[in-house]
Amino acid sequence: MEIAWIGTGIMGAPMALRLLRVGHRVRVFNRTPEKARALANDGAIVAADAAAAVAGAEVVFIMVSDTPDVEAVVTKAEPALKAGQLVIDMSTISPRAERALAARLKRLGVDYLDAPVSGGDVGAKEGTLTIMAGGEENAFERARPLFEHLGRRATYMGASGAGQMTKLANQIAVALALEAASEAIRFAQAGGLEPSRVLEAIGAGAAGSWQLANLGPKIIAGDYRPGFFIKLIRKDLRLVADAARESKVALPGLAMMASMFNSAAALGHDLDGTQAVAAVLDRLADVK
């Protein structure tokens, strides 16, 4: 297929690469050109701008950071879009914005899915992401063969915006599970236990989680290299807070985790992985 991929960052680049490696023709564009050019050796065609990337593509993927970024991509690409194309936004942004974008492109005869993902950079590289899609079901079925190269599971969640709402629910669970893992490790270390053995012991039982298994060893090693940036989880939790206010839902755990991640950013960890939230526990322990 002729595919356009806009956004070749820590998640987008390996996802686009997976589509290249199964034989699709992929045109890529990124605001930082060097990130797009890095895929040229793998056969990607580097486009000069978003409009050039999407022109003639059967499917257009967007994987950028935030709501204004997606809106800007759509605005720049819109003059080149034609009826019958499918646009799939795999970023994590506002559900309300996704509904507006879907309605806007529908007037052009362009199908639109919001299909955010979970699984981090490892999932992007290995094709094991979890994909949560909102939009028209026939558009989801059209995208399904491509999703199968990107993720282990793709689930149709309902109308436009439903994919993003599901992803935001995911982020609540992720943030709180990460805090639980961080506190358990710090508690074990303070009690004189070997933390890696604690992970082995409790990870096989009811305390087990993806965060404990995958980020626990990094917390123990002080390895804060990013698989998913602190700055991005902070953005995601702001989106959750906005949606919760609209729905009049109380989320006390969300408020705590927003504070923890904001503190991590204040300590200089905004461009580190989410596991750097563990550094905040060290600072809190020093408070007299």
- Report yes or no: 240 and 171 within 8 Å, Cβ to Cβ: yes
Cα first-last separation, the chain: 61
Angle, helices 162-190 vs 230-247, to 10°: value is 120
What is the token pair recorded at 24?
A: 């699709």
Angle, helices 278-285 vs 162-190, to 10°: value is 40
Which residue carries 């589509």 as its tokens?
19
For 113, the enclosing helix (H) or strand (E) is strand 111-114
Q: 118: which strand partners? A: 130
Q: In angstroms, what CA-CA distances link 150 with 12, 20, 101, 121, 143?
A: 11, 11, 23, 12, 11
* C-alpha triplet 160, 64, 249: angle, nearest 5°: 50
Q: What single letter denotes the amino acid at residue 164?
A: Q
Secondary structure (DSSP) of 164-219: HHHHHHHHHHHHHHHHHHHHHHHHHHHTT--HHHHHHHHHTTTT--HIIIIIHHHH
Secondary structure (DSSP) of 241-259: HHHHHHHT---HHHHHHHH
User: Pairing mode, if any, of strands 2-6 and 25-29?
Assistant: parallel
Q: Is 167 a catalytic residue?
A: yes
Which among 76, 82, 106, 167 is annotated as catalytic? Answer: 167
Q: What are the residue numbers of the active site?
A: 167
